[in-house]
Chain A
Amino acid sequence: MTKGPRVLIAKAGLDGHDRGAKYVAQILRDAGYEVIYTGIRRTPEEIVATAVQEDVRAIGLSILSGAHNVLFQRIMDLLGEQRAADILVIAGGTIPDGDVPHLRKLGVAHVFTPGTPGSEIVETFGRLLSTGTPAP
């Protein structure tokens, strides 16, 4: 049985809306990924520590609370501190289009906004993880 890449799907902060995260976790599993899912209300510290221990290729972070700018900054800072900046960070949630360039500048590899079809999510993950570079 061929092995799929290991990824982490996480939710940070006080946002408890996990349907989207669980959906993405399942479609990635169905696409052959090994998905570590850590539930709701995690701190950025817990998420990055988990990502390092589990040696994941990417963190998929779901944020529907509006706190994305703060939380992604914190995640990128922590990854840098732990010398794990090669772990890709992928965002999903209710993120306004206007905020996407800022997140990309922080180093977030891709931002999925509401309405993105599951097939596009799987395809994008596949592309990002095979090249290891953020999408243009």
Chain B
Amino acid sequence: MTPMTSTLAELVMVAGRPGPDRTRAAAKLMTRLEDSPELLPEILRATHGLAEPRLILGVTGSPGCGKSTLVDSLLCEVRRLHPESAIGVVAVDPSSPFSGGALLGDRVRMMRHATDPRVFVRSLASRGRLGGLSIGTRGVVRVFALLGCELVIIETVGVGQSEIEVVRVADVIAVVLAPGFGDTVQMLKSGVMECGDVYVVNKSDQSGADHLVGRLLSMLAHASGSMDGAPPTPPTLAAPPTPPKVHSTSAVTGEGVGKLLASLDQYVAENADKITERRRHRERDAVQDLLVGEIRARAANALRTNSRLATAVDDVLSGGGGRGVNDVASRVLSVLADATPPPARNTPDVGRP
């Protein structure tokens, strides 16, 4: 039995090799990384040089359009085609803003894989966090790499900022839609157009599906400013050419799922280097977010507790003597620079309960 007080390094070692405690160690690691996103750099260091998943696929869309069923269907297809491949799934559900609790029910639709040693499903609650959720998810994906997963699927409900953040951990984002979930104005409002690399119209057996595919194609063509649906020239990183934009599936029957998978496989085969480059870039962004988060927390704490800053807010409000936000912010920073740094929140070689 994996002791409750194993260090991060011990858990990494057990999770990274075949053995009776591997799944348990990986699961406990995921809990640590979710609870303490600031551990991300430590896990990255401890797993440096590890082979990464070929593809991290984000799946998002409104509740009820069949995302979990589609993921289940994708799992079946991958298991059939690549019986030796391991797959990891992160299923994110929102936490209640009132109680802080969550009902994590996505995995209900994937239970046929529950005893498959090559499929690992982890349910996460959003916990109302921004930033921390995506960093925690990034840590969980790293543990999937430790388990040797070649494909990782991150499933979220695409309705909030935090869900969109999580899905940015992915290489490719698939937005799932289904007929009967509103008209084109609804599509424009929901931010769908900005989010996806691939669009999947599920429930293709239902009436309205073909019409939805047509509307999507035409909206995508308008969004990019071109008539052939090609994406606009990306401003920053050189983005690899994206896979075909719109797919039609029926997750319940499996129709179209094979084609979707083949298209993703081809995309990965043609763009492996660019995928790796973008992952490194996003990893750096994530660590930078951690740094900024820590600085922000210290600044907020200083404003609340440091006696040298007791009048800071009043100074800004009164505005007298040139004490604008900029000046007071500089004063906060110089107070922070003088202050003794707080103890580090994680000490790598000490056991954590």
Contact = CB atoms under 8 A, between A and B. Distances in A.
Does B associate with A?
A: yes
Of B20, B100, B127, which is in contact with the most chain A CB atoms at under 10 Å from its CB? B100
Interface in B1-58: 1-2, 4, 20-21, 23-24, 27-28, 30-31, 35
Given A46-B115, A55-B27, A35 B100 contact: no
A88 interface: no
Given A50-B107, A84-B1, A86-B4, A3 B120 contact: no
B104 A3 contact: no
A123 interface: no
A130 interface: no
B102 interface: yes
Interface residues of A, number: 34
A86 B103 contact: no
Contacts of A36: 104-105, 107, 123
Nearest to B112: A46
Interface string A115-127: 0000000000000
Q: How large is the interface on B (under 10, 10 to 19, 20 to 34, 35 or more residues)?
A: 35 or more
Contact of A34 (B24, B104, B111, B128): B104
Nearest to A33: B101
Nearest to A39: B108
A130 B128 CA distance: 24
B30 A4 contact: no
B21 A1 contact: no
B62 interface: no
A28 B125 CA distance: 14
Interface string A6-26: 100000000000000000011
A37 B120 contact: no
Interface in A74-117: 82-86
A53 interface: yes
B190 interface: no
Nearest to B106: A36
Given A29-B96, A35-B102, A83-B1, A46 B24 contact: no
A135 interface: no
A26 B103 contact: yes
Contacts of A26: 103
A117 B105 CA distance: 24
Given A52-B27, A84-B1, A86-B1, A34 B101 contact: yes
Contacts of B103: 25-26, 29, 35, 37
Nearest to A30: B99
Given A54-B27, A55-B31, 9 more contacts: A1-B129, A3-B125, A34-B101, A35-B104, A38-B114, A42-B111, A50-B107, A52-B24, A53-B122
Interface of B: 1-2, 4, 20-21, 23-24, 27-28, 30-31, 35, 95-96, 98-105, 107-108, 111, 114-115, 120-123, 125, 127-129
Interface of A: 1-4, 6, 25-26, 28-39, 42-43, 45-46, 49-50, 52-55, 82-86
In order of increasing CB-CB distance, the 8 nearest A-B pairs are A83-B1, A55-B27, A46-B114, A29-B101, A32-B101, A39-B108, A1-B128, A55-B31
